[in-house]
Structure formats: C-alpha cells, structure tokens
Amino acid sequence: MHEMGIVLHLAKTLDETAEQEKLTKIGRVVLQVGEVSGIMTDLFTDAWNYFKGRHPVLSESELVLETIPAVTWCDNCKRTYETVKYGKECPHCGSAETWLLKGNECIIKEIEAE
Amino acid sequence: MKIIELGASVTASNDRDAEALRARLKAKGILLVNVMSAAGSGKTTLLSRIVKDMKDLRFAVLEADIASDVDALTMEQAGAKSVQVHTGGMCHMDAGMTAAAFDALESTDFDIAFLENVGNLICPAEYDTGAALKLMILSVPEGDDKPLKYPLMFAESDILVISKTDALPYFNFDVEKCISRAKKLNPGIAVFPVSAKTGAGMEALESALRTIRNSEFRNPN
C-alpha cells in the first residue's frame, strides 16, 4: 500500500526533526499534498492514525492536509494550464511539449511542537 | 506550543538514506541498477540471461517481493549472489530497505548489483533507492501504449528495455511508436529491444551496461 510507505517516511522525518530540535511533543502537522501526487488523502489519514501510536513524540499529533493545485507549463506557447482538467496536451495550442510545474509534491509545511 | 516551518519533503529521510548508500557503493566500486517493471515482464529471465552472458563480472541480485523466494533461487542458479527481501506488503523499495539488503549479502565483492524492485509501474518510480542507474522493462504483451499510462516511470528511467521481442509476431506492438512515446517523455532515455529467450539485442544491452559500469568507476579494482 503506497500511503503506508509515505506515512512511514513522514514519521521518520518528524522523529529526526524532534531529535534535532529537542522536541518532546508534536501537535499539528501541516502537510501540503499536490493534486497529482497520487496520494489518497483518506487512506493517508487512516495510515497516519495507525502509525502515530508507535512514535511517542507523535502520539497526540493531528494531521492537517492542504491541497496544492497541479499546474502544467507549455513549452510551445509559453502558457500554463490546469493539469487535472487537460492532462498532457496543452488546451491553448495542442502541443504535448508540456511539463508539470507543481502538483506532485508532498511537503511538510509546518509543525506545532514543544 | 511553537510553530516550526519545515518546508521539507516528506521523503527527506529517504533521500538522505539514498545519498548515503550511493556514496557507500561508489567507494566499493559497485554499480547498483534499480530494475523496475510490471509483474510478469520478464525481469528475472532477463537478469539471469545477463548474469550467464557476462561471466567475467561478479553480480549480486536483491530480489524484492511481497512474498516467496522463487526469484532468488533462479538467480543463484544463474551464478549471482542473491538476497530475498520481503517488503511486507509495501509496493516499492526505499533506500533504507535497499541498504539493509546489502548488509544481508555479507560480501561486497561485486561489479554490478541489480535491485529487482516490486513488480509495479507506479510507486517504485517515486522512490530513490540509492541506485546509480534506473532501468525499466516493458514487455511486448503489455502493449506500446504504456508510456501514455505510466508517464513517471518512463520519465524517471535511464534505460528502457523492450523485452520479449520474440513475441512481436503475435501482438500489435509497434516498437517505433513505443520508442517515440517514451522519448517524448524522456528525450535522453536509451532504448534496447531484446529477447532474453533468443538472445536478440542482448549484446547491445550488455555492452551498454559494461560501458556504464566502467565509466562510473575508472579503475575497476
């Protein structure tokens, strides 16, 4: 299961942060999830609630997910468009010389901690 | 409570593990190849053919599967040292698991190590395993439209092997169309159509692997 793997990495990254910053408790964790990152947010939250119990620093944490809209850049007409609506082909000029600008990331924006 | 702004990728810990493993393998002179494909594309058949053909090189194969050890046994019979990794239901290998598999091998006297990733064209593309080279396999029965369906895998790979070309007469697989679709996603991708069964195209692939191995380590042992 894909989400489980990402949650494991998230927990590990937060454990490392807690150690570096000498944190004893992490509260709110704000995560920015790209629209085309392939992460199912419901499954992700379920997996998180299961795993946080195994990490003492995280046991009382709460996950907040923010969505980052996916935007594609067209190399041919130098314009951008909504990735989810139009896919690989540029709706302005029909070119397939297009690249994802943002929307596939999964970033820990900020955490509340003490 | 205070707020700490991180702005770090969720997989930051994996990226660090991957860099550490890459440095460790470079020091040992081992070329690690991350081999990715769907289930049933012929990964094990292709790799055991390479191991048998390139007898002057020493191979290790890290077999990642959700269960069983059939692939590891096949690779041992072909002449490679192998270790079976059970991912416990996970859909991909990460750098920490790959490093642990190397530890389990005990010996480090290898020229090339293949990481046979979980059979899946989606998730393995998203994780850096610490490999220096990413090789994907697309078999003829899967169809020439796969670059359209799994763009990330094709965009991330350095080498595309089109396998089972001996089956071309029985399928509507357009090799040229497939190559042009893959190159549209990844202009730098090197493509090798092969049949591990008949041996067609194997020499070109094997000589490319040898060149990459030698250029990565200018003084091989």
Task: Give the DSSP letter of residue B150.
Answer: -
Contact B6 A112 (CB under 8 A): no
The three-class DSSP label of residue B91 is coil
How far apart CA A80 and CA A99 sit, in angstroms, is 9
pLDDT per residue as tens digits for the range B82-102: 888 887 667 788 898 899 888
How far apart CA B69 and CA B89 sit, in angstroms, is 15
CATH homologous superfamily of domain B12-210?
Answer: P-loop containing nucleotide triphosphate hydrolases (3.40.50.300)
Question: Which parts of chain A register pLDDT below 70?
Answer: 1
Distance from CA of B10 to the nearest CA of A (A): 5
* Sheet of strand A71-74, all strands in order from the earlier edge strand to the far edge: A80-82, A71-74, A98-102
Does the beta carbon of A10 lie under 8 angstroms from any beta carbon of chain B? Answer: yes
Res. B123: pLDDT tops 60: yes
- The CATH code of the domain that includes A33 is 3.30.2320.80
How far apart CA B203 and CA B190 sit, in angstroms, is 14
| B22: exposed, middle or buried (Cβ count in 10 Å: 0-12, 13-18, 19+) | middle
Output the CA torsion B53→B56→B62→B67 (10° steps). 40
Residue with tokens 């002057």: B56
The three-class DSSP label of residue B84 is strand
Q: How many domains does chain A have?
A: 1
Give the mean pLDDT of B166-173: 97
- The reported pLDDT for the residue numbered A85 is 94
Contact A2 B4 (CB under 8 A): no
Closest residue, chain B, to A100 (C-alpha): B152
| Ranges of each domain in chain B | 12-210
Contact A111 B6 (CB under 8 A): yes
**Range(s) of the domain holding residue A89:** 2-113
Does the beta carbon of A11 lie under 8 angstroms from any beta carbon of chain B? Answer: no
- The reported pLDDT for the residue numbered B4 is 84
Choose among B160, B169, B166: nearest CA to B199: B166
> How many Cα atoms are found within 13 Å in the side-chain-facing hemisphere of A67?
11
Res. B221: pLDDT tops 60: no
Q: How many other C-beta atoms can be found within 10 angstroms of the C-beta atom of residue A16?
A: 14
Q: How confident is the model at residue B153 (pLDDT cuts 50, 70, 90)?
A: very high
Task: Give the DSSP letter of residue A17.
Answer: H
The three-class DSSP label of residue A62 is strand
- The reported pLDDT for the residue numbered B127 is 86
Mean pLDDT, chain B, rounded, equals 90
- ipTM, 2 decimals? 0.76
Integer angstrom CA distances of residue A103 from B8, B33, B111 = 15, 28, 39
